[in-house]
């Protein structure tokens, strides 16, 4: 079952990264400046942010099988629509539609993990499925560049969109919710609401965990948006890479980053096995990998492009290691009938942060250079880790902490 989520995440990143690989061609054809390009990315982030708040509760209400299928179908069709773009405005509109659909992937994935895995295994399971983001980002540069050079950028968007529709043909008849998860949901804290129905969003928004988790993601997730959407542009304009070279080398940081998903899950599991509390294990793992993301700062300062790519690779490994543990946190605190809602609502923070820092990136690059941008994205993860330690409070078993959170919200 986790393989389903892994491949969905591969497709998710393959679809979104098609633009970043094709950006040098599209920017030339549509005459887009850095600010114009940042607005196209902003359109994606705006929709992604809005739908993060809606997709989680929707998936909790519809169930994992149907909810995941709808989001996959939406973003796959939106990817295909990119082939009909005629300029920056229509491209931005199709990116908006893509963001609406792609927002559902992580709330749905977190819900699958909550349904199928116990507490000790959740960070590793989350890391496994989130490795799909690295695999998708690895596959995008060589595959999209090859299709683009041979058949054109419009065909590239159609080809990657069709892959998601093929995933649906397997998911719909195969996925099931384990009976054990349904039974636990009825016996757990969510049973106090009468059944397995989703919890009210207004209650969730008033909990300390959702508020602090949302704020922490404002400073963590924009880092990956930067490396996803801007790193190929950086290689072209600052390191003088051509499209073929971007396809040849642009995947390396994301390949290295994939290891962080597994290392992040392993580290928290190791700390738990050594007697650390769940709170210390999760937060320590997030902090350790956040420190690794400082390597993004010297990446823009070194002379050799190879060393720069290596340092960005370490930064992405740090991001995925942190994220593997953050993905597990909602299920550590809330019952299974609320985890998609919690992660979706909190991910609105990453969306707002992504929109803000994307616009800032375009303006700073146009008026100054990439140097202050890399420095900023090296520091932001440390702010995230600080907020997790100071504001989030303890992570406890679902029933214990959930009752405390719910009582505080009331």
Q: Answer whether residue 195 shows pLDDT above 80.
A: no
CATH of the domain at 270: 1.20.1250.20
* Tens of pLDDT, residues 329-344: 888 888 877 888 888 8
pLDDT, residue 177, reads: 78
d(C-alpha 162, C-alpha 14), whole Å: 11
Q: Assess contact for 288 and 319: CB atoms under 8 A.
A: no
Give the C-alpha separation, 333 to 73, whole Å: 31
In terms of pLDDT, which residue wins out, 122 or 239? 239
Q: Hey, what are 325's tokens?
A: 């543990």
pLDDT on residue 230: 84
Would the pLDDT of 262 be above 50? yes
Say if CB 333 and CB 398 are below 8 A apart: yes
- Radius of gyration of the CA atoms of the chain, in A: 20
Q: What does the pLDDT look like over 298-328, one tens digit per residue?
A: 999 999 999 999 999 999 999 999 988 998 8
Q: What is the pLDDT of residue 404?
A: 62
What are the pLDDT digits (tens) for 185-194?
444 444 333 3
* Percent of the chain whose predicted confidence (pLDDT) is above 90: 33
Q: State CA 391 to chain mean position distance.
A: 22
pLDDT above 80: residue 151: yes
Secondary structure letter of residue 200 according to DSSP: P
Residue 194's CB is within 10 A of a number of other CB atoms, namely 7
Say which DSSP state 165 is in.
H
State the pLDDT at residue 409.
Answer: 57
Least confident stretch, 257-266, 348-357, 370-379 = 348-357
Q: Is the pLDDT of residue 224 over 50?
A: yes
Which pair of tokens denotes residue 136? 């998708």
User: Does the pLDDT at position 254 exceed 90?
Assistant: no
* Total count of domains within the chain: 1
**Tokens read off for 159:** 């080809």
Rounded to two decimals, the pTM is 0.72
Give the model's confidence band at 398: pLDDT under 50 very low, under 70 low, under 90 confident, else very high: very low
Q: Longest Cα pair distance anywhere in the chain, in angstroms?
A: 62
Q: What average pLDDT does this structure show over 154-168? A: 92
Phi and psi torsions of 336, nearest 5°: -65, -25
CA angle (272, 258, 172) in 5-degree steps: 90
Residue 192 is predicted with a pLDDT of 39
**Domain hosting residue 128, numbered range:** 2-409
Residue 91: C-alpha distances to residues 94, 157, 206, 350 (Å):
5, 12, 37, 22
Q: What is the mean pLDDT of the chain?
A: 85
Contacting residues for 310 by C-beta, under 8 A, at least 6 apart: none
175: exposed, middle or buried (Cβ count in 10 Å: 0-12, 13-18, 19+): middle
- 379/393: higher pLDDT: 379
């Amino acid at each position: 079952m986790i393989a389903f989520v892994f491949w969905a995440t591969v497709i998710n990143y393959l679809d979104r990264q098609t633009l970043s690989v094709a950006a040098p061609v599209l920017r030339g054809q549509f005459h887009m400046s850095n600010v114009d390009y940042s607005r196209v990315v902003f359109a994606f982030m705006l929709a992604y942010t809005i739908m993060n708040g809606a997709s989680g509760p929707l998936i909790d209400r519809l169930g994992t099988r149907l909810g995941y299928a709808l989001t996959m179908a939406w973003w796959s069709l939106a990817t295909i629509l990119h082939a009909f773009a005629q300029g920056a405005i229509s491209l931005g509109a199709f990116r908006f539609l893509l963001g609406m659909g792609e927002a559902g992937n992580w709330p749905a994935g977190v819900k699958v993990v909550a349904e199928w895995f116990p507490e000790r295994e959740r960070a590793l399971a989350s890391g496994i499925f989130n490795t799909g983001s690295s695999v998708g980002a690895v596959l995008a540069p060589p595959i999209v560049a090859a299709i683009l050079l041979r058949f054109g950028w419009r065909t590239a968007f159609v080809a990657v969109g069709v892959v998601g529709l093929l995933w649906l043909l397997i998911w719909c008849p195969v996925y099931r919710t384990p009976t054990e998860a349904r039974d636990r949901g009825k016996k757990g804290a969510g049973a106090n609401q009468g059944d397995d129905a989703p919890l009210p969003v207004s209650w969730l928004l008033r909990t300390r965990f959702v508020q602090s988790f949302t704020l922490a993601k404002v400073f963590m997730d924009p880092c990956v948006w930067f490396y996803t959407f801007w790193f190929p542009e950086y290689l072209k304009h600052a390191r003088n890479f051509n499209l073929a070279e971007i396809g040849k080398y642009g995947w390396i940081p994301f390949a290295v980053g994939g290891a962080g998903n597994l290392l992040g899950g392993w580290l928290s599991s190791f700390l738990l096995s050594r007697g650390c509390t769940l709170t210390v294990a999760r937060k320590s793992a997030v902090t350790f990998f956040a420190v690794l993301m400082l390597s993004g700062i010297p990446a823009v300062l070194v002379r050799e492009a190879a060393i720069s790519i290596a340092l960005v690779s370490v930064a992405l490994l740090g991001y995925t290691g942190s994220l593997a543990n953050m993905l597990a946190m909602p299920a550590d605190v809330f019952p299974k009938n609320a985890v998609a809602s919690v992660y979706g609502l909190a991910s609105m923070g990453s969306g707002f942060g992504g929109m803000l820092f994307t616009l800032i990136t375009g303006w700073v690059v146009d008026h100054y250079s990439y140097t202050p941008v890399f420095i900023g994205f090296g520091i932001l993860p440390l702010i995230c880790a600080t907020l997790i330690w100071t504001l989030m409070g303890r992570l406890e078993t679902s029933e214990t902490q959930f009752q405390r959170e719910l009582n505080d919200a009331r």
